[in-house]
Structure formats: C-alpha cells, structure tokens
Amino acid sequence: MNKSEILEYLQANQDARGIEHWKNHEEKSGGLKGFGIGLTKLRKFSKTVGKDSKLARQLWQAKIYEMKIIALLIDDPKTMTIEQAELQVEQLQGGYLAHVFSSCDATLAKTPFVVELADKWIKSKDKVRQRCGYGLLYEISKSKKKSAPEEEYFLAHIAHIEKTYPTEDIDTVLSMGGALIGIGKRSKALNAAALKVAVKIGPIDFDPDGSCEPMDVTKHLTSNYIKAKLGL
C-alpha cells in the first residue's frame, strides 16, 4: 500500500461528526487537517497495512492527523532507533500525538531500547518527553516477557512519582496516573504501593470544561477486576 491509497481510504471513510469535533481541537494540533476518523478504526485499518517503516516515514511527513497516526501504528520496532524517537518527539504537534506515540500499544514501546528511553525521558525537563516517558512506562508495565524489569524497577518509579507529582503540571500528572494504573496491575506489592500514591494524588481533573470525568486512579486499582486478578 502507498501514500495515495492511504489518502483514498481516509477520504472514503471521513466522518462529518468527527470533523466537527476536530475543529474544536484544530489549534492544538498545529494546523493539521483531520478527517474525523476515530482511533479504533485507524488501528483496525493499520493492521491491514502491516508493518512498513518506509511508508511510515512518508506518512509522518504529511500534514494530516490520521496519516501521522497510521505512521505511528505501522512503523517497525525492529528498525526504529533512539535517534528517530528523539526526532519524532520534537514533532508531536506540542504533544497532541503523544498518546499514540508512547502508549496505546505504541510501536515505540516494542523497541529493544524502550526501558532506556522511558527512564531518560521521565527525567527530562521537556514536558512532552516527560509525558511520553510515563506513557512508555505504562506500556513497559504491561510486558509479560522474561526480560521485563523486576519489581524493584517499578517501585523506584512509584517513589519518584510520589516525590515529584505535587510540582508537575496536570498533563504530566495525568500521564503519571496512567503509569500507576499499569504498574498497579502487575502484583499485590505493586498494587499496594501504587494505590498509596494514587490516594495522595486523588482524582485528576484534566478537563477544565467538565465534559470528562476526572481520572480516578484509585478506582482503577481497587476495581473488582484487579481484586480478582491479583487475589486481593
């Protein structure tokens, strides 16, 4: 599949309601054009495209939101480099693409250098990198591989979140909350440690308009699903 075929798909599947919603966020996107297509549909379509690092590079250069999303979804973790990640994180339209770039089952999270990069970005003074670092930490917390970090690694990050969250902006605290949710699902010990910090943070009110409910990390970590999974 090539860039022209991707554009044909986007044009054929554009959503009028989604486009209207997009207009409300156009300024934050840095002037990207949008076809109003939801992430779920784009993820499904990207699977039919398959991994294609060359096409991903071409789509990433486009001024179309959905093309950039597809680029992130079809990139090949085997060919991605830290240099590429450092370049792309500078091009996330002020962080507007950070969620798909670093979490949401991100391709970047499947690279062999993900732990190294997450640790580096979490300590960065750049707020977009910091948010992406916590997004990657969330993805790392989901790993079931034997090479996944030990419990002590996650406990250290929980301690860092507890120490630093009071001075961070709401977007960073939101990304910290996501990481706590992921970490708290791994084991009883990590659940207890993450829950302690989540209670301190409280519900994270990230929407000044009040159209979205605050993110309640405590609620996630004490759900019936988590209790059953961890035997709590």
The whole-model pTM stands at: 0.90
pLDDT at res. 10: 95
pLDDT at res. 212: 76
pLDDT at res. 87: 94
pLDDT at res. 147: 87
In one letter, which amino acid is 55? L
Q: How far apart are CA 154 and CA 225, in angstroms?
A: 21
pLDDT at res. 20: 79
Question: Please, what is the average pLDDT of the chain?
Answer: 91
Decide if 158 contacts 124 (C-beta within 8 A): no
How are the residues of the chain apportioned to helix, strand and coil, as percentages rounded to the nearest 5? 60, 0, 35
Q: 137-153, pLDDT tens digit by residue?
A: 999 999 998 889 999 99
- Residue numbers in the chain where pLDDT is lower than 70: 25-30, 93-95, 209-210
From 73, 60, 139, 140, select the one nearest 100 (Cα to Cα): 73
pLDDT at res. 60: 94
Decide if 221 contacts 191 (C-beta within 8 A): yes
From 89, 98, 108, 82, select the one nearest 178 (Cα to Cα): 98
pLDDT at res. 170: 92
